[in-house]
Amino acid sequence: MVLTYPVEVQLSGRQYLQPTNNNTADISPNQQLLPLTARVNHDDHLEIGGCDVTTLVEQYGSPLYILDEETLRTACRQYRNTFKEYYKGESQVLYASKAWNCLAVCAIVASEGLGIDVVSGGELYTALNAGMNPGKIYLHGNNKSDDELVLAIESGCTIVADNWHELYRLVKIAGEQTEDSSLLPIRIMLRLTPGIECHTHEYIRTGHLDSKFGFDPNDLQEVFAFVSKQASLDCVGLHAHIGSQIFERQPHRDLASVMVQWLRDAAKHGLTITELNVGGGLGIKYIESDDPPSIEEWSKAICEVVQTACISENLPLPKLLCEPGRSLIATACVTAYTVGSSKIVPEIRTYVAIDGGMSDNPRPITYQSVYRAVVANKMSVPCTETVTLAGKHCESGDILIKNAQLPKTQANDILVVMGTGAYNYSMASNYNRLPRPAAVVVANGEANLILQRETYQDLIRQDCLPERLK
């Protein structure tokens, strides 16, 4: 719901806060701009998780990712509980860790009973070291290496087979593993392309037919026939994913219906498919006009469609899996920056520079993503200026937010950009040789470091200088 205000009201950073009388457990985090614990203290400073953001910057520096544990746990519980409520069969929520994979995040979602979706050996290694149960880990990817496949097999997680090349390699690897029969058969799922379009950025649409991911639906019968003859492969499920940052309800309903038809087709080949993974893709609120479904609304629709379709096809209910990423973690995190220089271009625009930019948040320059920001130390000061927030990188396109509505800023003000938990740290780079920022998790007035700020020494740690160049 978009908030409206009388014309005479001068808005401030407070406009993004939840009313203090709301029960945060009932609020869908993906429909909020700030974390659920966001408050304004007596110094007119933004607090998250009971911690003053300006104090956090003093202690840990900036840029700084600030993860609100309560918001993340609330989203985990809403997914877990709504699937239990609306689905009559077994269910499992998986965190799509490509959104933000690190030890602390993996540990939090694991403690809430979620499994995890990984897309590389590095993500798998991190999840395992965070204590995630291998039985709840699913390895995705369209071009997994042999090393990644072997690590997944030896760890005991499920491999989501994406293409013919991967199926052949899995059979070959299985043949080489015969000395250790405990590793066989290899537990797999099949990723299929459903051919469902949705309105989102072209780079994050994965369900339409022209996609690098998944088996073509025209090959469905051949795939099922091949897998059914491989004793070394235990095909337990089917997987599909239609994209990311989706607000529409119907594409996910269509997907669930199509996937149940695949279950019927698999049964014709003697395959006992016990799991159905409908992917993720639920969008979040980045700006006031964004109107994504709530976690409960999305989950309920998926559960109902799968159940109805299974009944109509006279099929037993499979274990229902989903793998949200962005809608779990994006709004749980903000990024704090320190304001530096400014530049007024008369009658055109005012630039306000921050001490980060495209290296810690590449989404604006990559996807043309739009964000909202507040000045953490001036939460009640009216927003009287329209400025362009510029990053510090040597790129004219390093613009974090165009036409940001802010109070008058000064050097050393603390600027907070909202909704930065997904695909910010995970896509961060060392462009211009900037060290990647630190990250903290906050809860009940306590802040804990979960990612150390990189140093200059870290930047050259992998460099090699041949003797002849010295």
Among candidate residues 242, 315, 263, 300, the one with its CA nearest the CA of residue 82: 300
Q: How far apart are CA 412 and CA 463, in angstroms?
A: 34
Check if the beta carbon of residue 245 is closer than 8 Å to that of residue 201: yes
Could you give the residue numbers annotated as active site?
394
Cα gap 381→131, rounded to integer Å: 45
3-state SS class at 201: coil
DSSP assignment of 231-298: TTEEEEEEE----SSB--SHHHHHHHHHHHHHHHHHHHTT----EEE----B---SSTT--PPPHHHH
Can you give the C-alpha Rg of the chain in angstroms?
24
The single-letter DSSP state of residue 316 is P
Task: Please classify residue 250 by burial: count the beta carbons closer than 10 Å to its beta carbon, then call 0-12 exposed, 13-18 middle and 19+ buried.
Answer: exposed
CB 83 within 8 A of CB 93: yes
Torsions phi, psi for 244 (to 5 deg): -135, 155
Tokens of 427: 């896509």
